[in-house]
Amino acid sequence: MLVGKNGSGKSTLFRLISGLIRPDRGRIFCALKPSLMFQNPDHQLLMPTCKSELMLCLPKTKPLNNVIEVIQCALAKVDLEEMLDRPIHTLSGGQKQRLALAGALVSNSNLFLLDEPTALLDPESQKSVLEVVKNLTSSPLNPITAIWVTHRLEELFSCDGAAIIANKNISNWNSGSKVFQELKSLAVR
């Protein structure tokens, strides 16, 4: 997880890694295939149903003979297995975020850039999104890396590592609990 104040460069870093923007100088090299997930899923979900949304995310080189199987597998991995033909506008915020994760899965991304994905969610939906990401990143088959930007400090206890971004610089990576304690001590000063 990455934590930092507003304006510290967290979202800009994600946009650079995903290729949405180009650096003013230098180069960005990423050996993994990134997929950016926005804070508000309504800013990235475009189609009317879950199936049509995930079909849009499929690589153009994907053979058409098993598309529904691939989509259903992705929906199952994010706990939306019964939602294939469900209209997106009827989904909750947490379900929309999990659908965005399914879109990253079917696109064959192996680096998820999650820009405050729980910011607009109720506590139960926050927990469900955290659990799905944890399951995806701990899978022994087709491992996925997720970098998560958050302002919710309690989420630091769910991560494998964390760093603070300040003044466009990233601190050393530590455990989430150590970063939590560091931020608490900074707040006290």
Q: Which domains does the chain have, with CATH numbers?
A: 2-188 (3.40.50.300)
Give the Cα separation of 114 and 145 in Å (integer). 11
CB count, 10 Å around CB of 115?
A: 21
pLDDT at 108: 93
Who's near 60: CB < 8 A, 6+ residues apart? none
Is 83 in contact with 75 (CB distance < 8 Å)?
Answer: yes
Structure tokens at 54: 């995930």
Question: Would you write out the chain's pLDDT as a tens digit for each of its 189 residues?
Answer: 999 998 899 999 999 999 999 999 999 999 999 999 999 999 999 999 999 999 999 998 877 788 999 999 999 999 999 999 999 999 999 999 999 999 999 999 999 999 999 988 999 999 999 999 999 999 888 889 999 998 889 999 989 999 999 887 899 999 999 999 998 887 755
Secondary structure (3-state) at 145? strand
pTM tops 0.95, yes or no? no
